[in-house]
Amino acid sequence: MIQALDHGERHGTGTRTVRDLVLGMADGLTVPFALAAGVTGAVAASGLVVTAGLAEIVAGAISMGLGGYLAARTDAAHYAKEYAREIRETHEIPDEERAEVAQIMFNYGVREPVLTRVVNEIASDREHWVAFMMRNELGLERPDERAAPRSAATVGGGYVLGGIFPLAPYLFVGDAHIALYWSILCTSLALFVFGAVRARVLATPILAGAAQTWFIGALAAAAAYGLARLVSHAI
């Protein structure tokens, strides 16, 4: 008799964590950078830029963290809803559910007379039967109950971490316009490195990924800076 083995592998958690960190840092690098550049276009004192930037980072981290939390909770609620539906269908229309199991296994290359025995074995345990249907029919894995708070902390923390780079020069340079140049340098390097790491994780061309991330951040900052300059001259 073949025994089920639990060899300790846990797939998905690391990928989700990386995804949440990428999401948080991507916005943390670009949005505060664009805000700092935009405010610099209207004021000369670094203190005002720091105040506005810190307020935005706090608000952004809370907003992003809440978004990550709600997204994870939505995944859990969707899984629970589909799980309950599958449970109900195994009671109400078991023959149809067995036929679906047979079709899935047939697609995997299982043929008679083994096919019938496999279907009967899967359907003999309702919990395993439903888990099989969730995974192979709907493509859903049971979500981690701790995913929501962990996702919120990772996304929010990534946002704060990313936001440090564009604001750091304003803490040490009193003239906002001079600090802007250092902010551009710091954030450009951070965007480039972040883009390269992100590309490495996603197994895409590293140089292209780094350049793309840098370009998006630079474009956002340039647009915000130009708009602030136009508004300040118009007032």
- Any domain includes 168: yes
As a whole number, mean pLDDT of residues 98-120 equals 80
CA 137 vs CA 36, 97, 103, 155: distances in Å: 48, 10, 10, 31
In this prediction, residue 234 carries a pLDDT of 67
Say what the pTM is. 0.70
In this prediction, residue 12 carries a pLDDT of 45
Confidence of residue 7 (pLDDT cuts 50, 70, 90): very low
- State whether residue 20 is helix, strand or coil: helix
In this prediction, residue 232 carries a pLDDT of 62
Q: Give every CB contact of residue 38 below 8 A, 6+ residues apart in sequence.
A: 221, 224, 225, 227, 228
In this prediction, residue 209 carries a pLDDT of 82
pLDDT digits (tens, 9 = 90+) for 42-87: 777 788 888 888 888 898 888 888 888 888 888 888 888 888 888 8
In this prediction, residue 229 carries a pLDDT of 67
Find the domain containing 183 and state its range.
Answer: 30-229
In whole angstroms, what is the distance from residue 204 CA to residue 213 CA? 13
- Any domain includes 10: no
In whole angstroms, what is the distance from residue 215 CA to residue 52 CA? 24
- State whether residue 203 is helix, strand or coil: coil
pLDDT digits (tens, 9 = 90+) for 116-163: 888 888 788 788 888 888 887 777 777 777 777 888 888 888 889 888
pLDDT digits (tens, 9 = 90+) for 191-225: 888 888 777 777 788 888 888 888 887 777 677 66
pLDDT at residue 166 tops 60: yes
- Any domain includes 20: no
- Any domain includes 38: yes
Domain count of the fold of the chain: 1
- Any domain includes 235: no
In this prediction, residue 11 carries a pLDDT of 44
- Any domain includes 140: yes
Kindly state the DSSP code that residue 205 receives in the 8-state scheme.
Answer: -
- Any domain includes 165: yes
- Any domain includes 214: yes
How many other CB atoms are found less than 10 A from the CB of residue 91? 9
